[in-house]
Amino acid sequence: MTLRSIWSAVRLVILASLVLGVGYTFLITGVASAVFPHQAAGSLVTSNGRVVGSRLIGQEFTSPGFFWGRPSATTPAYNGASSAASNLGPTNSLLVAHVKARLQAFLKANPGVRASQVPLSLLESSGSGLDPDITPAAALVQVPRVARADHVSQSRLRALIHQYTKGRFLGIFGGSYVNVLELNVAVQKLSRS
């Protein structure tokens, strides 16, 4: 191997690194920012002029006046730096214990709700541990608690849930869902008025 061929290889590596490593990254970031500015900025949700979170990453809500999301398997809950599932199988006794404890806590916080009415999505953590959405049924079962805590009528809360319910992706993928953060921001505005 000659010095000339080594220098040619080094130049090719440098050129490829600049074009593919730097140029491509800036190009894709620029296109994403131009075509999808809200998503490229993190899909941030604001309330009263300040950022309260992202619609893409769930948050832990424990106050009775808020709708609660899916349980998170991350430590601490909804830790965006450590997205993870529990990896517990359906016959694992620890998973069964977690689900039973979550069910008891939910029933205690939501008097009048029967165990059979609680959607499984409120008892089982999501695959990422950061799920920002719940099903409309999971939101509706919480209406009496939120209405009592916020002194808002149940019919107005059900209307809000309907307003914030999004359908299946492309009409065929997944199911209907409600973004918990966006719904809670709307509930706060409603309870203030």
The verdict on 34 and 97 lying in the same domain is no
Higher pLDDT, 90 or 122: 122
Encoding tokens for residue 107?
A: 């029933």
User: In the prediction, which pLDDT does 117 show?
Assistant: 95
Q: Are residues 28 and 104 in the same domain?
A: no
Q: Across residues 25-34, what is the average pLDDT?
A: 89
Average pLDDT rounded to a whole number, residues 182-186 = 96
> Domain containing 161: what range?
43-192
The SS3 assignment for 44 reads strand
Task: Looking at the structure, tell me whether residues 53 and 132 fall in a common domain.
Answer: yes
Of 14-18, 54-58, 167-171, the range with the highest mean pLDDT is: 14-18
148 in the same domain as 59: yes
* 81 lies in the same domain as 164: yes
Mean pLDDT of 111-137: 90
Give me the pLDDT at residue 65, please: 94
The reply to whether 176 and 105 lie within a common domain is yes
Q: Are residues 63 and 29 in the same domain?
A: no
Looking at the fold, whether 50 and 30 belong to one and the same domain comes out as no
Q: Determine if the pTM surpasses 0.85.
A: no
Number of domains present in the structure of the chain: 2
